[in-house]
Structure 1
Amino acid sequence: MPLADRQAGACVYVDTIDGPAGGVHVSWNAGQSLTEAALGFMEPDRLDHRGPVIEHGARVGSLMDETIKRVLTLAGFRTRDAAELNDLAPGTHVAGRQPRQWFIEYILTEGVLGLIAAIRSCDPSGDDSGESAAGISAEDKARLTGRGIRIVQDGLHRLTDDDRQEFARVFRRLAGAMYSQAMACRGFWKADRLLLELPDELCLPAQEPPTVAGTSVTRFQVLAAAYAALLGSIELADEDTVDDDDAVKITEAWTGTLLRRMGQAPDEDRQELIRLFREAACEETDSAYMAFASGFPEAIGLVEEGD
């Protein structure tokens, strides 16, 4: 089928060729009007006018291919540019599912980024839909997110060099995927660009190394501790800091996301996540946060009867 005759949108096809270039490919088709316009300006008698239309078509294709790649990443697939495997192949090559341990890291990273973005986007002036909201002041936003951010930044000192680099890559990859998903759902102007800025902030080492810098930790442990701390900051805050309705809206949204993700996971992954949260509670130095983190898995229904 000619490209111009295809419906606009993501095109999925399977290349049956043997070798690494074979498999599932996803690319963006701009649709008939733009494709025909670009092809039309490639005609010999119109070469002097080809620039704007052809360049616009290329920009649209590049933007949408990058969005497709990020959405696939968010869904747990490994991807790469198809051109890396075959110079003539367009779009994105789907290289398979992420390893199982990536799933827990993905859930926790998504939650840390989402909670910080949700707190910071809760403005006192209300949201852009016109609904009234008490919102959160700039000072209170810093207070609510500060503990979780410090845990991530302090954790960098306790990771190996390889883990530190992978930590930054995961944050950037997930932030880009979440932003692309928000852009697809809410539109370009309403998608929160704060998500794209968060990885750089989170991956800045703390000004002073933590006193426990010599104790090694895993990326999973750092993320679980930060996730629990962010939720605990909201749960333990008084109403002058965050309105009850705003607090419930944020916490229910992200604990609900956590439970939906885990609903797709095998039981051993759920048990591992529970273990990480309980480990984070044991590491807490503040008694109120420790009490919250200790009961968190049961409170949201992550622990099932008999566990």
Structure 2
Amino acid sequence: MIEAVKFWNEPNNKSHWDLALDPQWRAFSAMVRAAAPAVRAENPALTRVLGGISPIDPGFMSHLVGMGTMEDLDAVAVHGFPLDWNHWPLDAWPERLAEIQAVVPLPVWVTEVGVSSFGAEEVQAFGLARTAQLLSGRAPRVFWYSLYDLPRAWPATTRHREAEGSSYYRHFHMGLLREDGSPKQSAAIFPAYTPEFGICQWFHFEDPRLDDAVRWLRRLGVRRLRTGLSWADSFRPGAEAWFDRQMRALEEFEVTLTFCFTPEHRGVAPHHTSPPLEAGEYAEFCARVVKRYAPGMRMAGRAPSADAPTLRLAGSA
């Protein structure tokens, strides 16, 4: 079920990593350098991927290479949204990939690419078709972001919020499906690009869309799914039950599992973007999750059954 794990999400984006607390990414590098071997010790067959960067910045990647961040990784990842947020044209995708390939001696995955339907559904449908032309065969993994629109009642994960103007509201229109689950024009054409294209869909804690999402993924012909488990959520009451339910529901897909979000009480600052107080605590969380849901060959990729031994997911404070 789990084919890969990713360490964090968009570490060079201040919406996901507090650059004021870690301006040289030394804490981030230490965290990844602790987590990668911890995961390998639990299951060396899993592909270990650096959290997708946004913006696509070869200088940032060179900086991480110089700190030894990549030494125990198998791939790196990039995110791109040229029709919504990036300052480069859609047709520049091959060039953006080549910039990273030139500075990192690892495969480059595209773990988030998408187009919003904020202005018109026709724009999203065009963007999907053209993106598929540009990226097909150029990256080992491509994940379209996303399956669902973000519910308007949920804030987008960004530090800029409404100050971004229309850019902020585009966050809410990235799905192939509307908030109510009804399909957009892009949903009708997406099966033409599967199974090469996967889907990136984040599930919130006890997300009510989970079962419907599985049905839609099947309908669209999706085989590969990128999602995440939150280190911060692991301290919530009922976290173990929710994690088990989520992973069991997704067991038929080839999952790339992202580990991110610092628990407020374990960060240098009380925020999910903060560097952790101890890099080893993040590594321990990653290892515990792998041990439970992808423990080498012992469970052949199966999520635990209902009578599996209890495993405390959250580390001690």
TM bracket (short chain)? under 0.3
TM-score by length of 2: 0.22
The structure with more helix, counted as a fraction of residues: 1
Report the structure number with the largest CA radius of gyration: 1
Higher relative contact order (Cα pairs below 8 Å, separated by 6+ residues) = 2
Return the structure number with greater strand share.
Answer: 2
| TM-score, L = length of structure 1 | 0.23
